[in-house]
């Protein structure tokens, strides 16, 4: 049975029972029967599917008003629970998902960093970190590593093979040669 059919049956039963309830003296009994019938219908797989379809429809989503406090609590539980942490850890392993999250927060992160760069306390903290001998040693070790040397070599080769770089280099060499010629 289609979800719309189930909803139509529920509505029809409620309307028929309501109409017949007015004519009879047992209005409360009819209400209880209708209530029981609707609950029974909703407990069926078709009834559950119909409700799920209605709730997840775009039109219904647009009309739902979500309480901010409830939404905040739900997000906090999702982020801070063990299941939530596991979900985010696994979700961030997907490069497309991680890129989408990073892209969605790009503007806010950029604004945050710009405001931090203007903060004297943050600037002082960054300078302290950069001046720290342990940090300097770590950077030197990293720069001397085989991986870094290989990466730098690849960057230099890629740069020399870049047509735009070749054109700039050629222009610079021609200007230098012309300057030398003019001096002689």
Each residue's pLDDT expressed in tens, for the chain with a length of 184 residues: 555 555 555 666 666 555 554 444 555 668 888 888 888 888 888 888 888 888 787 777 766 666 677 778 888 877 788 888 888 888 888 888 888 888 889 999 999 999 999 999 999 999 999 999 999 999 999 999 999 999 999 999 999 888 888 889 999 999 999 999 898 7
How far apart CA 85 and CA 83 sit, in angstroms, is 5
End-to-end CA distance of the chain: 97
Per the confidence metrics, is the pTM higher than 0.75?
A: no
Please tell me the predicted confidence (pLDDT) of residue 85. 84
Are residues 48 and 32 in contact, defined by beta-carbon separation less than 8 angstroms? no
Please tell me the predicted confidence (pLDDT) of residue 10. 65
According to DSSP, residue 94 is labeled S
- Using a 10 angstrom Cβ sphere, with 0-12 exposed, 13-18 middle and 19 or more buried, the burial of residue 114 is exposed
> Which own/partner contact pairs does 42-45 have at CB distance under 8 Å and 24+ positions apart?
42/10, 44/6
Backbone φ/ψ region at 160: left (φ over 0), alpha (ψ -120 to 50), beta: alpha
Q: Any idea what the Cα angle at residue 20 is, between residues 19 and 25, rounded to 5°?
A: 120
How far apart CA 109 and CA 20 sit, in angstroms, is 63
């Amino acid at each position: 049975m289609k979800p719309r059919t189930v909803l139509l049956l529920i509505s029809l039963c409620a309307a028929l029972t309501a109409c017949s309830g007015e004519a009879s003296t047992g209005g409360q009994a009819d209400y209880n029967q209708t209530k029981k019938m609707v609950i029974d219908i909703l407990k069926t797989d078709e009834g559950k599917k119909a409700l799920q379809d209605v709730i997840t429809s775009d039109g219904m989503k647009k009309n739902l008003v979500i309480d901010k406090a409830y939404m905040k609590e739900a997000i906090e539980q999702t982020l801070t629970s063990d299941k939530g942490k596991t979900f985010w850890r696994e979700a961030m392993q997907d490069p497309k998902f991680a890129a989408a999250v990073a892209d969605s927060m790009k503007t806010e992160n950029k604004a945050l960093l710009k405001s931090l760069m203007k903060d004297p306390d943050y600037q002082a903290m960054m300078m302290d970190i950069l001046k720290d001998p342990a940090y300097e040693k770590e950077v030197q070790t990293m720069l001397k590593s085989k991986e870094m040397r290989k990466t730098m070599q690849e960057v230099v080769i890629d740069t020399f093979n870049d047509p735009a770089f070749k054109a700039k280099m050629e222009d610079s060499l021609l200007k230098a040669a012309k300057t030398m010629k003019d001096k002689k």
